[in-house]
Amino acid sequence: VDESKAINDKKGPMVIISASGMAETGRVLHHLRNNIGNPRTTVLIVSWQAPNTLGRRLVEKERTVRIFGEEHAVKASVEVINGYSAHADQAGLSEWALALKGRLKKVFLVHGEPDPANTLAAKLREGGLTDVYYPKLHESVTL
């Protein structure tokens, strides 16, 4: 933590590597607050960002963002590199689930955005998994 705080006092060029996630908690918030207003800063996001998160707002190039309850002008360049996720892609998930076809009773798709999740659900149904469900946000299901 002390090393992370010490970055705030450093001058000159540097690379700050912070934890992944949605930029909603942790030290990344401090780094963003201290640097997002600098046009010489680049924020590089290398993972999918959930809707309505600070990370997603940065990816969507919003001009101002709220950090610690305060509005900050985004003057930094925000760049995105897709493909660094440890999550399986649609092909990988389909292959895995269809290989278990005889043993699966029901498949719940609980991660991701609606359009890709519904596309995956359709692909799984076409492959013979008839009971595939994508719950709505905050929906509870009984197992």
Any domain includes 141? no
Those residues with Cβ within 8 angstroms of residue 100's Cβ, 6 or more apart along the chain or in another chain: none
Task: Read off the pLDDT band of 107 (50, 70, 90).
Answer: very high
Residue 16 confidence (pLDDT):
82
Domain count, the chain: 2
- Which is more confidently placed, 135 or 86? 135
For residues 119 and 90, the answer to whether their CB atoms sit within 8 Å is yes
Any domain includes 101? yes
What is the CA angle 18-24-25, rounded to 5? 65
In tens, the pLDDT along 33-55 reads 999 999 999 999 988 888 999 99
Q: What is the CATH number of the domain that holds 23?
A: 3.40.50.10890
Q: Which domain holds residue 69?
A: 2-80
**73 lies in the same domain as 110:** no
% the chain with pLDDT above 90: 57
**76 lies in the same domain as 8:** yes
Task: Read off the pLDDT band of 20 (50, 70, 90).
Answer: low
